[in-house]
Chains A and B, each alone.
Chain A
């Protein structure tokens, strides 16, 4: 049976996750339990959602440098308006999604570099977040708190949610006819345009969808942390990009994988826990994260080479 190149691209991230998990279990056998897994992957859900959002943007050959501040902003809205007056909160979040669509339109019409526009937007979202919550505070809406801390039988919530996110986005982006258009724009805009599609609409839709997932990420994050602050998710920008890349996605050419992105997010989450189990001095925690990133990418390169050699044979 022939294995599609998409499946091959998934093997590497999955293997790195398994390896990391095995290492963690080896060092800390107690982690091999319901509670242990829950602790390990606790923060994975918002990161996975943000990674999926980033992946959508990357599918149309753009890059969102405002992901971190946007998720922070959404978390702030969720911890304040969404909690106190849900109607207004929902309206604000819908407005934010519309803003994302508008950014997509502007980037497309004026042929602007997405990196720069989203760089500008990161200031805007950051400023709005500061306006809403000048100091850390707020309170998570009860239902998100309930959802994020619920304890389904056998498998912890974080893992259930990650699987659901992976499956839903896989169908949306890899299998549905709309997903084909999104990836088509990344692969060859001109051919999509010549086939009579409105690329503006596709791009706007993609951005809106990304905004939607980022909003979910913010809500999920607040559900976990119970309160918010304006800088709560700043590192999500880089985490989400790294997650997509770890998951086998590419910066250009519409080559993305939602399942891979979720796995990438899980790997990054696990890397943090792994380092604390290793009792690495806090000085070197960040550096070790960099090193892990490098090792995983080296592994991926090695396996890719192997695959290529197989192919040419």
Chain B
């Protein structure tokens, strides 16, 4: 009884409940035949949203106005650049990953330099940055589609004990992020900054340093995701990141992270990511056209927020 109440006071429980319902509804339609394939697909595609979602969540935790719109462009550039560099050679896999991470590092710094130097809201700074990154990606890509190294491609598309490797990677990254958020000083700091930047500054928290690290973290996660996604889908495409702009924000909020900042949670990102994928596949299964699918996706997002937001309002 008491544990049930604790469970229901968690903001992430709603996204998981919704996920289970959608999963059941979809599986019921196919008479249970698709349950394994559906779950695997859901885990794989959710994993990509989870990786970018975690980065976005750290940024959103920093408080009102903090958001990273350069996520999709970063993914695209990272995927393009890494594949070009690796040039189908298995020996370059690690180098490619390192370059991706380095790229994320640089973009994160670039984002924060713009925010800090120009004193502009992050939404505009990261948007301007994303234009530049996107152009660089177009310039690098030149319409060529380079395949990923075979080992990497196999790794991203296979699974271990039935769990897709990508999902395992995302799980490990989530674990690290959880420790970072819940157990470390850094986690306390970003939460404090999200609640009141000035108060955080006056308790000795190095606000700019912490925010810089957070933007770097977000960009690195986006880079890693771009690297994995490009390898998974057999090559980088210029629009491969585009759907992750709205997705990365949607999963954070549906997952129960406070948009006002200071309060975040990682399990919710998983719930929300699984949910977002399952909704689309459920609508596909039921044979809805693209228009209906979009409308229903939107309505469900709003409905979930209404339920979850209501909980938050009662706090």
Residues of A within 8 A of B (CB): 63, 65, 106, 110-113, 115-117, 119-131, 134, 238, 241-242, 245, 251-252, 283-291, 293-294, 297-298, 301
Query: CB within 8 A of B313: which of A110, A121, A283?
Result: A110
Q: Which residue of A lies closest to B252 (CB)?
A: A116
A288 adjacent to B64 (CB under 8 Å): no
B253 adjacent to A287 (CB under 8 Å): no
B135 adjacent to A285 (CB under 8 Å): yes
B161 surroundings in chain A (CB, below 8 A): none
B131 surroundings in chain A (CB, below 8 A): 286-287, 289-291, 293
B301 adjacent to A115 (CB under 8 Å): no
B121 adjacent to A245 (CB under 8 Å): yes
Query: CB within 8 A of A123: which of B67, B120, B295, B305?
Result: B295
A112-B306, A287-B131, A287-B135 known; A119+B301 contact, CB < 8 A: yes
Would you list 22 pairs from A and B whose C-beta atoms are within 8 A, ordered by A residue? A110-B313, A115-B249, A119-B246, A119-B249, A119-B250, A121-B298, A124-B294, A127-B294, A130-B290, A130-B294, A131-B289, A131-B295, A134-B291, A241-B124, A241-B127, A245-B124, A283-B135, A284-B135, A286-B138, A287-B136, A297-B118, A301-B120
Query: CB within 8 A of B305: which of A112, A125, A130, A294?
Result: A112
A242-B124, A285-B135 known; A290+B130 contact, CB < 8 A: yes
Q: How far is the CB of B249 from chain A (nearest CB, A)?
A: 6
Of A116, A129, A251, most buried by chain B (CB within 10 Å of CB) is A116
B302 surroundings in chain A (CB, below 8 A): 117, 120-121, 124
Which B residues from 102 to 141 make CB contacts under 8 A with A? 114, 117-121, 123-124, 127-132, 134-136, 138-139
Which B residues from 72 to 121 make CB contacts under 8 A with A? 114, 117-121
Q: How far is the CB of A69 from chain B (nearest CB, A)?
A: 9
B119 adjacent to A120 (CB under 8 Å): no
B310 surroundings in chain A (CB, below 8 A): 110
B119 surroundings in chain A (CB, below 8 A): 301
Of B65, B118, B121, B313, most buried by chain A (CB within 10 Å of CB) is B118
A124 surroundings in chain B (CB, below 8 A): 294-295, 298-299, 302
Which 4 A/B pairs are nearest by Cβ-Cβ distance? A287-B135, A290-B131, A123-B298, A127-B294
CA distance A191 to B231 in the complex (A): 55
Q: How far is the CB of A91 from chain B (nearest CB, A)?
A: 19
A123-B297, A126-B294 known; A284+B246 contact, CB < 8 A: no
Q: Which residue of B lies closest to A292 (CB)?
A: B128
Q: How far is the CB of B139 from chain A (nearest CB, A)?
A: 5
B291 adjacent to A128 (CB under 8 Å): yes
A127 adjacent to B295 (CB under 8 Å): yes
CA distance A301 to B64 in the complex (A): 21
A252 surroundings in chain B (CB, below 8 A): 64-65
A113-B260, A294-B118 known; A122+B306 contact, CB < 8 A: no
A130 adjacent to B132 (CB under 8 Å): no
Q: How far is the CB of A204 from chain B (nearest CB, A)?
A: 17
A294 surroundings in chain B (CB, below 8 A): 114, 118, 128
B249 adjacent to A238 (CB under 8 Å): no
B134 surroundings in chain A (CB, below 8 A): 286-287
Q: Which residue of A lies closest to B260 (CB)?
A: A113
B123 surroundings in chain A (CB, below 8 A): 63, 241, 251
Of B65, B124, B136, B250, most buried by chain A (CB within 10 Å of CB) is B124
CA distance A28 to B180 in the complex (A): 56
Q: How far is the CB of B91 from chain A (nearest CB, A)?
A: 30
A122 surroundings in chain B (CB, below 8 A): 246, 298
CA distance A133 to B24 in the complex (A): 33
A241 surroundings in chain B (CB, below 8 A): 123-124, 127
For the complex, is B188 an interface residue (Cβ under 8 Å from A)? no
B250 adjacent to A115 (CB under 8 Å): no
Q: Which residue of B lies closest to A302 (CB)?
A: B118
Which B residues from 276 to 293 make CB contacts under 8 A with A? 289-293
Q: How far is the CB of B292 from chain A (nearest CB, A)?
A: 7
CA distance A123 to B301 in the complex (A): 9
A134 surroundings in chain B (CB, below 8 A): 289-291
A284 surroundings in chain B (CB, below 8 A): 135, 138-139
Given contacts A119-B301, A301-B118, 12 further A-B contacts (CB under 8 A): A110-B306, A111-B309, A112-B306, A116-B305, A120-B298, A120-B299, A127-B295, A238-B127, A283-B138, A287-B135, A294-B128, A297-B128
Q: How far is the CB of A157 from chain B (nearest CB, A)?
A: 30
A120-B302, A134-B291 known; A288+B135 contact, CB < 8 A: yes
B132 adjacent to A290 (CB under 8 Å): yes
Q: How far is the CB of B201 from chain A (nearest CB, A)?
A: 19
For the complex, is B259 an interface residue (Cβ under 8 Å from A)? yes
CA distance A170 to B249 in the complex (A): 33
Query: CB within 8 A of A127: which of B118, B127, B135, B293?
Result: B293
A113 surroundings in chain B (CB, below 8 A): 253, 259-260, 309
Query: CB within 8 A of B301: which of A106, A120, A290?
Result: A120
A283 surroundings in chain B (CB, below 8 A): 135, 138-139
Q: Which residue of A lies closest to B130 (CB)?
A: A290
A287 surroundings in chain B (CB, below 8 A): 131-132, 134-136
A127 adjacent to B305 (CB under 8 Å): no
B289 surroundings in chain A (CB, below 8 A): 130-131, 134
B301 surroundings in chain A (CB, below 8 A): 116, 119-120, 123
CA distance A111 to B314 in the complex (A): 11
CA distance A287 to B73 in the complex (A): 11
B124 surroundings in chain A (CB, below 8 A): 241-242, 245, 293, 297
Q: How far is the CB of B219 from chain A (nearest CB, A)?
A: 16
